[in-house]
Amino acid sequence: MIADVAEADFETRVLERSREVPVVVDFWAEWCGPCRTLGPAIESAVRAREGAVELAKVDVDSNQRLAASFGIQGIPAVKAFRDGKVVAEFVGAQPLAQIEGFLDELVPSEAEQLVASGDEDSLRRALELDPHQSAAAVALAKLLLARGDAEEALEVLAPHRAGFVADGLAARAELELGEANRATDSGNDAAHAGSDAASSLHSAFGAWDDGRPEDALEKLQLAVAETGDEHARDLIRRAMVGIFTELGPGHPLAAEHRRRLASALN
C-alpha cells in the first residue's frame, strides 16, 4: 500500500501497477521540511482507503534522473497515476482536507464501482446513490431498450438528455413507443404508412444491440429515406448522432454516415 520506490522498479510498481489501482507518487527528500509535514498526512489518508489507492515514495536525491524525467523542480511534489499516465498533481504541503479531496478524485465512488459491474441491479443502485450518474442511466437504458421497455428507458434518461448518447437513446425510445402505439391501431390506414421505415428501425436497433454498427447505420439511413414524417426523421437523426458519439469522432463509420445523413436531410 505504501512503499519506497526507486528508478529500477518505478515502471513495475507505479506505471504498470496504476493500470490496476491508482498510484500516488510522493517525490520528497530527507532535508525538505514541508516533505516531513506532507508525508505523514498523505500516508494516513492512503491507509484509510484500505487499498483503493497506493502510495509510492521517491527520494529525489537518490533518484535524480527519475525526478528530472517528471520535471520535478520543487518538493514535495505529488503526482497521481492511472493507466500508466499522470492524471493529477500538486506541489507543496497541503491541508489534510485538500489531500483527502485529491485522493477522493482518484478513487471511484461506490456509484462508479456499481456502474462498472454493469448488471441491472447495480445500475439501479448506482442511480439511487447518485441520481446525476449519467453513465448508469445510459447503461440501464440500453438494457431496458434491448428488452423492449422503451417507456421506462425514457423515464430513466429524462434527467440526462444533455449528453448526445443519452439523447440518442431517448430518441430511440420515442421511436419505439411511437411504433408500438401505431401497432395498436392496426385498422387505421395511417398505421401502415410508415411500416417500411418501422421495419428498418426495428432491424437497425437490433443490429446495434448485437454489436453490428455498420448494419445498424445502414438501416437507419434507409429509415430516414423511407419516412415522410419530419418529427420521425429528427428522432432518427438524434439516434444516429448518439451512435456517432459512441463510435467516436475518428471512427470511419461515424464520419461516413454523418456525411450521408447530412446529405439526406438537406
pLDDT at 190: 45
Mean pLDDT value across the chain: 90
Of the two residues 162 and 242, the one the predictor is more confident about is 242
Domain boundaries, the chain: 2-106, 109-160, 163-266
Complete DSSP assignment for the chain = -EEE--HHHHIIIIIIGGGTS-EEEEEE-TT-HHHHHHHHHHHHHHHHTTTSSEEEEEETTT-HHHHHHTT--SSSEEEEEETTEEEEEEES---HHHHHHHHHHHSPPHHHHHHHH-SHHHHHHHHHH-TT-HHHHHHHHHHHHHTT-HHHHHHHHGGGTTSHHHHHHHHHHHHHHHHHHHHTTTTSHHHHHTHHHHHHHHHHHHHHHTT-HHHHHHHHHHHHHH---HHHHHHHHHHHHHHHHHH-TT-HHHHHHHHHHHHHH-
Q: Is the pLDDT of residue 205 over 90?
A: yes
Active site residues: 32, 35
Q: Is the pLDDT of residue 187 over 60?
A: no
pLDDT at 191: 46
CATH of 2-106, one of 3.90.78.10, 3.40.50.720, 3.40.30.10, 1.10.10.60: 3.40.30.10
pLDDT digits (tens, 9 = 90+) for 32-68: 999 999 999 999 999 988 888 999 999 999 999 999 9
